[in-house]
Every structure is written in C-alpha cells, then in structure tokens.
Chain A
Amino acid sequence: MSVEVEVDENDLAEMVEQVWEAYLDPEGVSPLMQTYDENQPSEVHSSVSITGSWSGHIVYSSSRAAAQRAAAAFLAMELDEVSEEDISDTLGELANIVGGNVKAMLPPGAQLSLPQVVLAPESSARYPNTERISGVYGLWEGEPVSISMWQSSTDTKEEGA
C-alpha cells in the first residue's frame, strides 16, 4: 500500500537552507532567493531515486554557472580551478544530500539509489509515469537552481485504488 507523502515545499526549503548554510553559503551572504517559478531553465541536473514506501525521484537542477559555483564552494577552490569532474561530483552529492534527508522523512522501508548526474538540462530527462509534487525554485546569485520531487504514478494509482 502506498502512503501519503508528507514532505512539502517547506520541508524542501528547510533542507536547502541547511545545505546552503553548511556548504554553499557558510557566511550567510548569498542564500537561494525563491522565485516560485517551476519553469525556470536549467543546464545541468542530478537525481536520486527512492523506492519502497514511497517511489519517485529527487532532482537537483541548475545553470552551469551555479553548478560551477557550487563545486567551487564544496571544494574551497577558485571558480576557474573547477573541473568537469568536480561539477559532476558536486551535483551528485547535492542530489544525494537532499534525497537522503527526504528519505528520512518517509515511512520506513524506503531505499535510496546512488545519484545520477546529467550535464544537460532537466527538460532533456524524462521520468516516466511521474508527477512533480513539490519543489523549491530560486536564484542563487542570479543563477537558476531548483530542487524538486517527482512521484511515480504507480503510487498515485494505488492511492486511488
């Protein structure tokens, strides 16, 4: 039997805040400013899948510039020192951190996958039979960043059954 998901925008926003505070903006000078625009563009994205008591995906997406800035912050490097691999690893870890925190809020029995990173826009990816159920959309120093949750429709069907 599937369950009602109780992870909403506010929970995601709180996780985002913690990630910014710990790694991306420890000085508290450049937070993610929410735009509430779920159609904002992206150039790169990463995701983790959750299966079990809830099934779906957590997707982190951003512009390339924001991903480069995130990698520089993660690795305490200058922007121009950041490699493609640094960007990829950082994106994977961002999806992993948010996904792990989401999983912790789900009922027991959920499994988290290893992260997948795609250096292409989120719109290039298809999460078959899923529906976006919540998300945080914002600008980080003017660059688009979003974190969203996609629920598998098999869950939705079961709920209606």
Chain B
Amino acid sequence: MKILIADDSRVMRQIVVRTLRQAGFGDHDLIEAADGQEAFDKTTSEQPDLVISDWNMPQMTGIEVLRQLRAAGNSVKFGFVTSECTPEMKTAAEASGSAFFIVKPFTAERFDEVFAPILG
C-alpha cells in the first residue's frame, strides 16, 4: 500500500514514519507532504491508498484537504494525526468522511490499534 504522511513539521513526519515502523507497518510505500496544498496535490497525482494528515498546516488545513478531495470525487481513506482534538473537530472530521482521529502525543500501540484494521 502507498501511504501519504502530511504534516508541516519535518520532525513529526519522521516520528509518524518511525511509529508506523514500530507498529509493524514499515514495509508500505511511504511518501510525504509538507503542507495542505502539497497533500492535496500528491493525493491526486500519486494516488495513495491512505492519507495520514495533520490538521493545522499552512496553505490548507487538513480538513480543507479532505473536503476538497471529497468534493473532487476522491474517496481515499483519510484520517488525522493532530495535537488538537476538540469535539467539534472530531465531528467535522467524521462528517467529511475521516476514517480515524489520532491525538498527539501518540504511541505505537495506538497506531497498531487504528491501522491494523486498515493496513492488515
């Protein structure tokens, strides 16, 4: 599977990659995006099977990326890894078709719990 990791923080992208490996999902094809626009563009051009996105990013926020993808007819499996988790954000994410919501700081156990059903 191809997985796109979108986060404007380079260290957080590395932590997500490392945690995916620790949780046993390191053999997937991992690609990265450094802001919302890049996340949208790469999702369109590279057609990943899964997008793991930050919420608060320059250019476009994660939820804007998800909404624009859905508006464009793209149904990629998409979810959030974010330090912000308010009830209204979770509701907005679910309403837009988000598949998961992981709160930073996260652990490999949490990744396993969320991604095992998706990545097998």
Contacts and interface: CB of A to CB of B under 8 A. Distances in A.
Interface of A: 18-19, 21-23, 71, 74-76, 85-86, 89-90, 92-93, 96-101, 103-104, 108, 110, 112, 114
A22 B105 contact: yes
Given A100-B104, A112-B56, A74 B84 contact: no
Contacts of A98: 83
Interface in B1-15: 8-12, 14-15
Interface residues of B, number: 22
A22 B82 contact: no
A11 B8 CA distance: 27
B106 A22 contact: yes
A74 B11 contact: yes
Contacts of A114: 8, 56, 58
12 contacts: A21-B107, A23-B105, A89-B10, A96-B56, A97-B83, A97-B104, A97-B105, A98-B83, A100-B83, A100-B84, A100-B104, A108-B88
A97 B56 CA distance: 11
Contacts of A22: 104-107
Interface of B: 8-12, 14-15, 18, 56, 58, 82-88, 103-107
Nearest to B106: A22
Most chain A beta-carbon neighbours within 10 Å: one of B11, B15, B86, B106: B11
Contacts of B12: 93
Nearest to B10: A89
Nearest to B7: A93
Nearest to B14: A75
Contacts of B106: 22
Contacts of B86: 103-104, 108, 110
